[in-house]
Amino acid sequence: MNEFTPTSLASPARLGKDVPRSAYIHVPFCVHRCGYCDFTLIAGRDQLMDDYLIALEKELERQVKTRREIDTLFLGGGTPSHLTLPVLEKLFSLLNEWFELAPGYEFSMEVNPAGLLVEKIDLFRAAGINRISLGLQSFDNEILKTLERDHNRNDIERVVEQLQDRFENISFDLIFGVPGESVALWKETLSRAVSLAPPHISTYGLTFEKGTDFWIRRERGELRQHTEEVEQEMYRMSMEYLPEQGYDQYEISNFAKPGFTCRHNQVYWNGASYFGLGPGAARYLDGVRTTNHRSVLTWLKRTLAGECGDGESEELNPEEKARELAVIQLRTTAGIPLKEFELRSSYDLLELSRSVIDKYHQAGWLEVTDEVVRLTPEGRFVADTLVVDFL
């Protein structure tokens, strides 16, 4: 854990009622849509980038209202690094108008290797970005082809070197469980990643989301999904190998060298407030969770017309907020600190979720002490199923 504590034990903020000190900006442009991707984005419509900036400014006026000091800023997508140089310059200057980065800030950006010019990398640095999340996914050209990514192993070698010359805090995103990928190949991927020494690595299991090309191709028998056993073996390998190499697992999918956990994500995991701008972006303000419209064109049209680009919005009651906090914190390896949980939510977790905790404790999936409830390594395999029972 690093020193960033948006809601510390000493002064526990009520869930989502604190002053937001973080912002997420969703950049919805990609070259094309990869077969497995169901994110909010628009592919091959780069002519809309200028309209996007105008809409974003209108949303900043509506949501953020005045210039704010923040601790963490995250540019995600889509592919933020796909924006053209002039659009990136305008975006950074817009963000600078609205957000003052506090001393010790973290400014992250998701970057893809394909077509990444060194001029852009220099611009990221000049704009104050100090953390890069690099979407590598694999080092194997066949796997990258299956995933329909635009980059290959040579692009990775070049881009990693250029980024490492300019940034210390780099995270690699990797995907396991890709059709055609063996357990040995996944081990090779992890080991290649470690040899490049990024201070942070995220590993995600491939999912077949309904409506994606991958989903359709699996239904047709064109893509074969790995068995659960193979997926678990790959995940187990990450959980064993990466800590051996000095990367502590601090969340289901995240591993970091000491001092390099992602501070922005910790805002979500602490149930703190944050701004969320751009299509499909979620925000949590004054205890209300709102998600912008997921259709890029609808969000653009409404926002440009001066209308609200919100999609869904819900204000959780105190018990629902407490349960949601439990679910979010359970994904972290630190688990749910019981005293802090009660201070922030006014609920005693062991009373609120007694039967679920007993059930999974007996199954060996939860560790329960007087101080904390957390997933055991075995429990991390079934986290998605398990956490639902806490809601």
> Applying CB under 6 A, which residues contact ligand SF4?
30, 33-34, 37, 39, 41, 77-79, 112, 135
Shortest Å distance, C-beta 79 to ligand SF4: 5
**Cα angle at 124 between 121 and 127, to 5 degrees?**
150
Shortest Å distance, C-beta 188 to ligand SF4: 22
Shortest Å distance, C-beta 209 to ligand SF4: 11
Secondary structure of residue 148 in the 3-state scheme: coil
Alpha helices in the chain (DSSP H): 49-63, 85-98, 118-126, 141-146, 153-166, 183-195, 213-219, 228-244, 263-269, 296-304, 318-330, 338-345, 349-352, 354-362, 377-381, 383-388
Shortest Å distance, C-beta 40 to ligand SF4: 9
Closest CB to ligand SF4 among 76 and 309?
76
Closest CB to ligand SF4 among 151 and 264?
151
Shortest Å distance, C-beta 135 to ligand SF4: 6
- Rounded distance between C-alpha atoms, residue 215 and residue 316, angstroms: 32
Closest CB to ligand SF4 among 36 and 341?
36
- Paired with 131 in beta bridges are 108
Spatial contact of 234 and 188, defined as CB atoms under 8 Å apart? no
Q: Any residues with CB less than 8 A from the CB of 219 and at least 6 apart, and which?
A: none
Closest CB to ligand SF4 among 31 and 316?
31
Closest CB to ligand SF4 among 79 and 138?
79
Shortest Å distance, C-beta 175 to ligand SF4: 9
Closest CB to ligand SF4 among 37 and 87?
37
Beta pairing, strands 288-292 & 310-315: antiparallel
- Rounded distance between C-alpha atoms, residue 10 and residue 5, angstroms: 10
**CA dihedral (156, 157, 161, 164) positive or negative:** positive
Determine if the peptide bond prior to 78 is cis (ω within 30°).
yes
Shortest Å distance, C-beta 42 to ligand SF4: 10
Closest CB to ligand SF4 among 149 and 200?
149
Strand order, beta sheet including 310-315: 282-285, 288-292, 310-315
For ligand SF4, the nearest residue by Cβ is 37
